[in-house]
Structure 1
Amino acid sequence: MEKRIWHQAYVKGVPSAIQFEKETLYSALQRSAARKPDHTALILMGREVSYGELLETVDRFASALSGLGVKKGDKVGLILPNIPQMVIATYALFRLGAVAVMNNPLYTASEMEHNLKDSDVRTAICLDIFVPGILSLRGKTAIEKVIVCHVRDYLPASDGDAFVQELSALHVDIEPQTGVYEFRALLSGCPAPSSLPTVTFDDPAAFIYTGGTTGVSKAVVISHGNSSAAVQQFKAWLFDTKDGEERLLAVLPFFHVAGYTDIMNNGIYRGWTIILVPRPTPDIIIELTERYRPTLFGGVPTMYIGLLNHPKFSSTKWNFIKGCLSGAAPLALETITAWEKSTRATIVELYGLSETTALATFNPWRGKTKIGSVGVPIPETDCRIVDVESGTKDLPQGQAGEILIKGPQVTRAYYKNPEATAETIRDGWLYTGDIGYLDEEGYLFIVDRKKDVIIAAGYNIYPREVEEVLYQHPAVQLACVIGIPDSYRGETVKAFVVLKEGEPATEKEIIDFCKKKLAVYKVPKMVEFRSSLPQSNVGKVLRRVLKEEEQAKLKK
């Protein structure tokens, strides 16, 4: 691509252009295993899996899936936390050319049903505690086979370790039944497949669900090319990190695009050790940090805030950390200052979306960072700021407009959604829906969201989805949801409700009703009852006015 102003911000050693390797991520796993077969790939609470063992298990599981009829192009649902089976399953699907359909295990039944139906999943690989819920969807979706995974299959003996005991206690036995298979049993005596299908960079590798202005989840198609390009861009940016030598703390879930790219795929591609965190509480993060001394730390603002407020934080040694990454939501200056003062490790903020395979802009690693900025476009990535009205007029530096991104990591489509694809991806440019501006050095600043998405603890929450649940309550006449600032989560959900005449309800009743129908992070934390809500002349509730009212309250 042509020279851009932000290339001047690149640190020496970071190229503006990359000669991309035509290597799939499964091939990268083979390479990492060939280089150092005994090097630790994964650690789960003390249980270590070497690269040689990981590759062997991936191959055997690919053979088992093939034996169950999974073939190239098939969509396979993954409902798993950060445990070895998640990595094994994902890379086995990469080998077969099948598609890993990532699902948040915290989805409610209706959310899971939508995603499984929308993605045409017939086989699901699932943690045991979620299996009953998936089995209940067999009549409502195309699900035919369910593979059961147990955390304790990869846990060491507890030996008094409270965290291991806690994870072991989550075990659930699943009764033998037609169409249900045990992960361990499938591996027994299963050789590697004798032949491999041809997998190209254009083939889909994963579906990662995201929402839109309507709040309806869409499957972002992440190709093998997108996945490979993203980790190669990551390597170019973190220019002084060494293949086979770093240790990543896997706080970000692998079903999320940031965990998928920044941790799992990046770690495998570089031959690094990935320290798995199935339940990322501050207690566990500090314990694993002390035990395994990760050199790279990635998370979201809520994680950094939670750690800073933990009683053991000040007594924990952090001097082995080379650098920290943060994304998903803005990080407060006070948090950055407090963290860097205590750990001596710089937090580098970045910006990306599911549609960009997690990476678009990055504050320069070992270079000049700007507070409030999400950095500059990474190598082989272009960025434009255009007017919101037409989306065609390029705006001058310093003027805010819609952010457009182009690069090899950008998706080409949403699955089975040509309308959304045509609206969002035009001539190779991704229309992000975010509002921002580029300064005189090419640093990107995000000032608002075109979409009304609420980002709480790194999770996207779509107001209309929450509002539709509120409208199901028999006492609710009118409802509107907004995000309000929260010192811990970044944003949190507040609902404004007008009750039907003669139909009483309390804040607790409304919240409890939502808890039954929404994932916990989407449930409103506050409910304000009003006699009316501001509306346009056509009866549309004016969300903007409610936001302005809340902002005015904060300034008092």
Structure 2
Amino acid sequence: MNLRQQTVSQMLSETVAKYPQRPAVRWADGCWSYVEFDREITKMAKGFLSLGLTIGSHAALWTEPSPRAVAAFFALQRIGAVVILLNTCLKGGEIEKQLTCSDAEYVILEGEEKAQSFLEACRSGREASFAEGELCLGQTVRVKTVLLSRLTDEPAWAQPMPAPDPNAVAMMLFTSGTTSANYKVVCSSGAQLASSGRMKADDMRMTEEDVVCCALPMFHTFCINCNLLASAAAGACLILPPDRHSETTLTYIETYRCTILTAVPSVYLTLIARPDLRPERVASLRCGIVGGAYCSPEQFRTIEGKLGMTLLPGLGQSEVIAGVTIASPEESLEVRSNTLGHFVDRLEGRIVGHEVPMGEGDTQAGEIQVRGPMVMLGYYENGKVVSAVDEDGWLHTGDLGWQDAAGNIHYAGRIKDIIIRGGENIMPSEIEAVLSGDARISCCKAVGIPDDHYGEVPCICIVPGSGAALSEAQVRSAMCQRLAAFKVPKFILFFSKFPYTNTGKINCKKVAAIARQTILGSAQ
């Protein structure tokens, strides 16, 4: 279970040596072969060094996936800097908090236009300015700024490249589940990142012949592992569309004959809902991973059927670098659509405590816990990396699930989302599963509503399908037939649409807040 002691840059160098003339990165009006990509990375690395960045420098990258941004990620890895991936959807105070809690020394931006966009985002509720390559934000943040567009000429850097420690912190990510009030900064090593790339490439059976369509934001671990690192590990070609609109994604899949598409469920669902989706436009697709949010068995089968690809389910979180679970492409559709697959290689897993009855029989859901070399180094707090595992090395994921006889994991939800009605534990996912196969329902979320008698009662929030006629009585009847009486939601609310996070997940906190305000407000 030991990691190969290799940095991301060393992993890429091996790929460059194997496939120097294979296409590495392709975009609308250009392409780098692997040897050209490596040359661009080296030039950019020398540019960073000449500006004062070096081993251990904390460099925040605020960008969407683009050729220069991808090269910058690998260049920072080459010099041993710590890459901090900023959420490009954040504003003023949120950006300030992320820069502060990660001890960022530099902010790296693509060019003048992106720099102005970043400055405007910073100014939302804060005083912000650029002055001589420095960003001044609020009362406390002073960081140097680097524009990638100005690193056009290779500097005369005569000194040797640094030799980063593969076990040192190489990347910082902010957990997608945290609010701006309490960020958690996940630290990963170069060896973990390199191993993750090789593992995700192997999971998808990726080779140098594959063409990977990037349809994820760069600040998400899903993008880094399954797009950037996996492509580099396998020698595949990474395709970079200019945006993540479904029309653009579909066009790039068709134009560049993409073979792999990895995305959150909402991206897939938006893609297959397009009226201009035809089988011949996606005929090149063969494999991809769906993750980042819940995907019902019915949605899974519909996505796979309409796109004609082998879809792999997985459970992931930023704290576990290569993900928690994954299914194999060789598994049956029944297994892939109904489970999250098995625990990933180099990871020991178990399910303990928090026993929650799931449906009929004796099936019990408990917390998914993991340990092994692919678990993060720890959280970055007050200038130090603080371990987040227990005394026996187990990371408590906060996810609930159960394991079947074949070793496959079935997802049951988050511990914090459990609805406790009069002492009875209810999993929202079990309520949602009753309705997920109904063609009249686009999506649904179960949330807890405070109750004077029971403490909390379930409420089901529903977005009907386009043109669908659906009544509260019909919904209640369907649930009464399949759920124990105490699990049947007391309240049923219909939404025109759900709020989403910037990573494509349903914003459950906002859905719950709207539901509680609607119900408790009307009750008062």
TM-score when normalising by structure 2: 0.73
Which sits farther off after the overlay, 82-91 or 32-41?
32-41
In the alignment, which residue of structure 2 is the partner of 1:448?
413
Residues 59 and 192 in structure 1, CA contact (< 8 A), matched pair in contact too:
no
- Supply the AA of the counterpart residue of 1:339: I
Instruction: Note the C-alpha offset of 1:192.
Output: 5.7
In the alignment, which residue of structure 2 is the partner of 1:226?
192
Structure 1 SS opposite 2:402 = strand
In the alignment, which residue of structure 1 is the partner of 2:136?
138
- Supply the AA of the counterpart residue of 1:291: T
CA–CA separation in structure 2 for the residues paired with 1:434 and 1:88: 34
Aligned pair partner of 1:399 in 334, 348, 364: 364
- Supply the AA of the counterpart residue of 1:451: K
| Residue 47 (structure 2) pairs with residue 64 (structure 1) | yes
- Supply the AA of the counterpart residue of 1:190: P
Structure with greater strand percent: 2
Instruction: Note the C-alpha offset of 1:531.
Output: 9.2
In the alignment, which residue of structure 1 is the partner of 2:171?
206
Aligned pair partner of 2:344 in 363, 378, 384: 378
- Supply the AA of the counterpart residue of 1:219: V
Residues 50 and 155 in structure 2, CA contact (< 8 A), matched pair in contact too:
no
In the alignment, which residue of structure 2 is the partner of 1:505?
none
Instruction: Note the C-alpha offset of 1:73.
Output: 0.8
In the alignment, which residue of structure 2 is the partner of 1:302?
266
Which sits farther off after the overlay, 295-304 or 340-349?
340-349
CA–CA separation in structure 2 for the residues paired with 1:364 and 1:315: 24
Instruction: Note the C-alpha offset of 1:269.
Output: 1.6
- Sequence identity percentage: 24
In the alignment, which residue of structure 2 is the partner of 1:355?
319
Residues 8 and 191 in structure 2, CA contact (< 8 A), matched pair in contact too:
no
| Aligned length in residues | 425
In the alignment, which residue of structure 1 is the partner of 2:238?
274
Deviations 1:45-90 (A, max 9, x none): 2321221221111111111111111121110010000101221111
Deviations 1:257-316 (A, max 9, x none): 000111101111211100013411110011001100111111111111111110111254
Deviations 1:385-442 (A, max 9, x none): 11139xxxxxxx9421111012221102100169995555543221101111111111
Unpaired runs of 5+ residues, structure 2, are: 123-127, 130-134, 356-361, 419-427, 430-446, 448-458, 466-498
Change (3 A) 1:184 1:370: closer
Change (3 A) 1:386 1:349: same
Residues 197 and 233 in structure 2, CA contact (< 8 A), matched pair in contact too:
yes
Change (3 A) 1:487 1:208: farther
In the alignment, which residue of structure 2 is the partner of 1:24?
7
In the alignment, which residue of structure 2 is the partner of 1:434?
399
CA–CA separation in structure 2 for the residues paired with 1:316 and 1:241: 22
RMSD: 3.5
- Supply the AA of the counterpart residue of 1:254: M
Q: Per chain length, whose mean CA-contact separation is higher, i.e. which structure has more relative contact order (CA < 8 Å, sep 6+)?
A: 1
Residues 186 and 380 in structure 2, CA contact (< 8 A), matched pair in contact too:
yes
Aligned pair partner of 2:291 in 327, 330, 334: 327
| Residue 96 (structure 2) pairs with residue 113 (structure 1) | yes
Change (3 A) 1:301 1:521: closer
CA–CA separation in structure 2 for the residues paired with 1:377 and 1:440: 14
Deviations 1:475-527 (A, max 9, x none): xxxxxxx9956589xxxxxxxxxxxxxxxxxxxxxxxxx99xxx998694784
- Supply the AA of the counterpart residue of 2:146: I
CA–CA separation in structure 2 for the residues paired with 1:419 and 1:73: 13
Change (3 A) 1:377 1:531: closer
CA–CA separation in structure 1 for the residues paired with 2:519 and 2:54: 55
Residues 54 and 88 in structure 1, CA contact (< 8 A), matched pair in contact too:
yes
Describe how 1:101-180 pairs up with structure 2 within 5 A.
Answer: 101-127=84-110, 128-129=113-114, 130-133=117-120, 134=122, 135-136=128-129, 138-140=136-138, 141-148=140-147
Structure 2 SS opposite 1:400 = strand
CA–CA separation in structure 1 for the residues paired with 2:341 and 2:516: 41
| Residue 226 (structure 2) pairs with residue 262 (structure 1) | yes
Unpaired runs of 5+ residues, structure 1, are: 2-18, 149-182, 390-396, 456-462, 464-481, 489-513, 535-545, 550-556
Aligned pair partner of 2:66 in 61, 83, 86: 83
- Supply the AA of the counterpart residue of 1:432: T
Residues 198 and 234 in structure 2, CA contact (< 8 A), matched pair in contact too:
no
CA–CA separation in structure 2 for the residues paired with 1:410 and 1:31: 25
